[in-house]
């Protein structure tokens, strides 16, 4: 597939960048699509279009904005099979999982956001003040490759419901779902300029959007390094910024916990999407007395993570997204082994093609090692023993990140008392499932702001306090 166009002002127009960028199938290692790159000039044109559409869209009644979102969701659902295949090939997630996680969940979230917008309190009274929530304005949404449609959904949908207009720059590594979504939006009849999409690189299109004086807010998901750059550029114009960045999440197993359940769930979370998940539990904290038992359980479970073609139903672990990502993850594992870490199991034989890293669990790891402190973004779990609960909490909180965490204990009350002491934006207790209506975001270098639920919509709203004479309220109450 070759695509030369970008979506601006409700129309497809030729991208003006000077190059085409190949998208590589993560299993075959062969090109699967080619997209022409946009330019800084394209980004400026998209911002102009969004600015021109802002007054009309922000004054569109909420029920009409909600109706557009539901129509787009239906259009995406009709394209679910195409989206699943594209994302699975780009990112490497097994297709049976991609259908549910990469496509089904994001499409459902469009309708969930619509429900939440209808429930949101858009105006409230504080004494003689009317507090009104209004759209922040033109929003630049810059999204990553690991969960492409999910991350786009978490920004574009609440921004549109808030009454903002949007310019999207999807990841150039996995952009295919964004193009499919743009066509679903076009088919919905959304007013021109409300949604715009420019495909391109971060240094060209991304920085042009972040630096544009008519962009009122930037919502970015990606690496902490890139997030620091976005924040610095946005700070020049005092733009509003939402950042969802890296993570090094800890699963803390208390002595009273069901060890088998904790280990099994932590492995599943760590290896989901081949470890390419920002909130993945990549550190397993265990009582020193139970470390050996955990290693035995892990040795049995790791064998079940069969690597192979993501299109095959028996595959549990797909490839990484790219050759460079495989090289980076392998390098971090090698460095950890040189620093004294030890594999719990021997590495499995790799398939003949694909950017694979075998499922890896490392023990004899100390909290100060790079592998225990830095985000790996691959199927790598480290085991960290502790002697006291206070020590475990100190280890869990002892990185630059604070995106997510988990606590396992014999009782929910015991786990909850520990969860309250973790410096992380999301903490799961005893395997409780993800809640798409609850806020998601991190502490420290994991970012600024929250996505999902009512909080995700409110990220794109400003508060206006209108001071009124008391007689105004008295007349309305009479």
Q: How far is 319 from 143, CA to CA, in rounded Å?
A: 21
Which residues, in sequence order, are CB contacts of 211 under 8 Å at separation 6+? 233, 236, 237
Task: Say if residue 237 is in the same domain as residue 284.
Answer: no
Task: Say if residue 146 is in the same domain as residue 100.
Answer: yes
Range of the domain at 318: 249-429
Q: How far is 277 from 424, CA to CA, in rounded Å?
A: 16
CB 456 within 8 A of CB 110: no
Does a structural domain hold residue 478? no
CB 18 within 8 A of CB 10: no
Q: How far is 204 from 31, CA to CA, in rounded Å?
A: 23
Output the DSSP codes for 205-258.
Answer: IIHHHHH-TT--EEEEES-HHHHHHHHHHHHTTT-EEEEE----EEEEE-TTS-
CB 10 within 8 A of CB 192: yes
User: How confident is residue 475, by pLDDT bands cut at 50, 70 and 90?
Assistant: confident
Which residues, in sequence order, are CB contacts of 327 under 8 Å at separation 6+? none
Task: Say if residue 393 is in the same domain as residue 454.
Answer: no
Strands 249-253 vs 138-142: parallel, antiparallel or unpaired: unpaired
For residue 120, is pLDDT > 90? Answer: yes
Mean pLDDT of 334-341: 98
Task: Say if residue 296 is in the same domain as residue 227.
Answer: no
Going by the DSSP 8-state scheme, the letter that residue 451 receives in this structure is B
Residues of the chain with pLDDT > 90, as a percent, come to 97
Q: How far is 444 from 375, CA to CA, in rounded Å?
A: 14
Number of folded domains in the chain? 2
pLDDT tens-digit series, residues 282-320: 999 999 999 999 999 999 999 999 999 999 999 999 999
For residue 472, is pLDDT > 90? Answer: no
Mean pLDDT of 107-120: 98
Instruction: Quote the mean pLDDT of the chain.
Output: 97
Given the residues 141, 164, 270, 278, select the one marked as catalytic: 278
pLDDT tens-digit series, residues 226-283: 999 999 999 999 999 999 999 999 999 999 999 999 999 999 999 999 999 999 999 9
The pLDDT, as a whole number, for residue 470 is 82
User: How confident is residue 1, by pLDDT bands cut at 50, 70 and 90?
Assistant: confident
Strands 31-36 vs 195-197: parallel, antiparallel or unpaired: unpaired
Task: Say if residue 223 is in the same domain as residue 284.
Answer: no
Q: How far is 367 from 217, CA to CA, in rounded Å?
A: 37
pLDDT tens-digit series, residues 416-467: 999 999 999 999 999 999 999 999 999 999 999 999 999 999 999 999 999 9
For residue 476, is pLDDT > 90? Answer: no
Does a structural domain hold residue 258? yes
For residue 478, is pLDDT > 70? Answer: no
Does a structural domain hold residue 128? yes
For residue 41, is pLDDT > 70? Answer: yes
Which residues, in sequence order, are CB contacts of 307 under 8 Å at separation 6+? 315, 316, 317, 318, 319, 348, 350, 351, 354, 356, 358, 359
Which residues, in sequence order, are CB contacts of 183 under 8 Å at separation 6+? none
Whether 244 is catalytic is: yes
- What beta strand segments (E) does 288-430 contain? 342-343, 360-363, 380-386, 401-402, 404-408, 426-429
Does a structural domain hold residue 17? yes
Tokens of 15: 């991208």
Does a structural domain hold residue 473? no
Given the residues 90, 244, 375, 414, select the one marked as catalytic: 244
Task: Say if residue 101 is in the same domain as residue 179.
Answer: yes
- The angle subtended at Cα 219 by Cα 429 and Cα 324, nearest 5°, is 80
Task: Say if residue 261 is in the same domain as residue 235.
Answer: no
Task: Say if residue 157 is in the same domain as residue 36.
Answer: yes
Which residues, in sequence order, are CB contacts of 36 under 8 Å at separation 6+? 3, 4, 5, 14, 15, 17, 19, 20, 21, 199
Mean pLDDT of 105-110: 98
CB 213 within 8 A of CB 237: yes
pLDDT tens-digit series, residues 340-359: 999 999 999 999 999 999 99
Tokens of 105: 């969940």
Q: Which residues is 241 bridged to in the sheet?
A: 218
Does a structural domain hold residue 62? yes
CB atoms closer than 10 angstroms to residue 473: 15
Task: Say if residue 219 is in the same domain as residue 316.
Answer: no
Does a structural domain hold residue 395? yes
The pLDDT, as a whole number, for residue 471 is 84
Residue in the block written with tokens 């085409």: 20
Calculate the alpha carbon distances from 450 to 134, 202, 242 in Å: 18, 23, 7
Task: Say if residue 228 is in the same domain as residue 126.
Answer: yes
For residue 15, is pLDDT > 90? Answer: yes
Element (H, E) at 337: helix 323-338
Supply the CATH number for residue 84's domain: 3.40.605.10
pLDDT tens-digit series, residues 75-98: 999 999 999 999 999 999 999 999
Range list of H helices, 349-447 = 370-373, 389-396, 412-419
Task: Say if residue 241 is in the same domain as residue 255.
Answer: no
CB 137 within 8 A of CB 218: no
Supply the CATH number for residue 423's domain: 3.40.309.10
Task: Say if residue 285 is in the same domain as residue 149.
Answer: no
Q: Which residues is 461 bridged to in the sheet?
A: 135
Number of continuous H segments (helices) and E segments (strands) in the chain: 17, 23
Does a structural domain hold residue 239? yes
Tally of CA atoms within 13 A in the half-sphere of 48 that contains its CB = 6
Residues of the chain with pLDDT > 70, as a percent, come to 100
Residue in the block written with tokens 């909080």: 455
Q: How far is 2 from 458, CA to CA, in rounded Å?
A: 37
């Amino acid at each position: 597939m070759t695509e030369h166009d970008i979506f601006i002002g409700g129309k497809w127009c030729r991208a003006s960048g000077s190059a085409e960028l190949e998208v590589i199938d993560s299993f075959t290692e062969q090109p699967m699509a080619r997209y022409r790159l946009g330019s800084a000039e394209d980004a400026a044109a998209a911002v102009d279009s969004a600015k021109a559409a802002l007054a009309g869209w922000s004054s569109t009644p909420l029920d009409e904005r909600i109706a557009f979102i539901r129509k787009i969701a239906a259009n995406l659902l009709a394209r679910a099979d195409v989206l699943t295949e594209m994302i699975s090939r780009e990112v490497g997630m097994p297709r049976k999982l991609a259908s549910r996680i990469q496509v089904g969940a994001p499409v459902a979230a469009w309708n969930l956001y619509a429900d939440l917008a209808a429930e949101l309190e858009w105006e409230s009274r504080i004494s003689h003040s009317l507090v009104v929530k209004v759209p922040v304005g033109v929003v630049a949404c810059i999204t990553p490759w690991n969960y492409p449609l999910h991350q786009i959904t978490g920004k574009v949908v609440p921004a549109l419901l808030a009454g903002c207009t949007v310019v999207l720059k999807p990841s150039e590594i996995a952009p295919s779902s964004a193009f499919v979504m743009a066509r679903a939006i076009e088919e919905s009849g959304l007013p021109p300029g409300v949604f715009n999409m420019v495909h391109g690189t971060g240094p060209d299109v991304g920085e042009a959007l972040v630096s544009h004086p008519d962009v009122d807010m930037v919502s970015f998901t990606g690496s902490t390094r890139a997030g620091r750059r976005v924040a610095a550029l946005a700070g020049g114009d005092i733009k509003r910024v939402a950042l969802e960045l890296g993570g090094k999440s800890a699963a803390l197993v208390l002595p009273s916990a069901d060890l088998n359940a904790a280990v099994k769930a932590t492995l599943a979370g760590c290896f989901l999407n081949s470890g390419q998940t920002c909130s993945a539990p990549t550190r397993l904290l265990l009582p020193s007395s139970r470390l050996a038992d955990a290693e035995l359980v892990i040795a049995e479970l790791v064998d079940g993570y069969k690597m192979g073609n993501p299109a095959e139903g028996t595959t549990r672990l797909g490839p990484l997204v790219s050759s460079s990502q495989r090289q980076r993850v392998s390098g971090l594992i090698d460095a950890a082994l040189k620093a004294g870490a030890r594999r719990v199991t021997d590495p499995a034989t790799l398939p003949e093609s694909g950017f694979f890293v075998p499922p890896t669990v490392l023990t004899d790891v100390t909290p100060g090692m790079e592998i225990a402190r830095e985000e790996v973004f691959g199927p790598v779990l480290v085991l960290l023993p502790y002697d006291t609960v206070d020590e475990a909490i100190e280890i869990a909180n002892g990185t630059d990140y604070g995106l997510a965490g988990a606590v396992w204990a014999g009782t929910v009350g015991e786990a909850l008392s520990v969860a309250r002491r973790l410096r992380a934006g999301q903490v799961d207790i005893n395997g409780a499932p993800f809640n798409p209506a609850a806020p998601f975001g991190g502490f420290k270098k994991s970012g600024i702001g929250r996505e999902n639920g009512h909080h995700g919509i409110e990220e794109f709203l400003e508060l206006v306090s209108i001071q009124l004479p008391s007689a105004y309220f008295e007349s309305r109450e009479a």
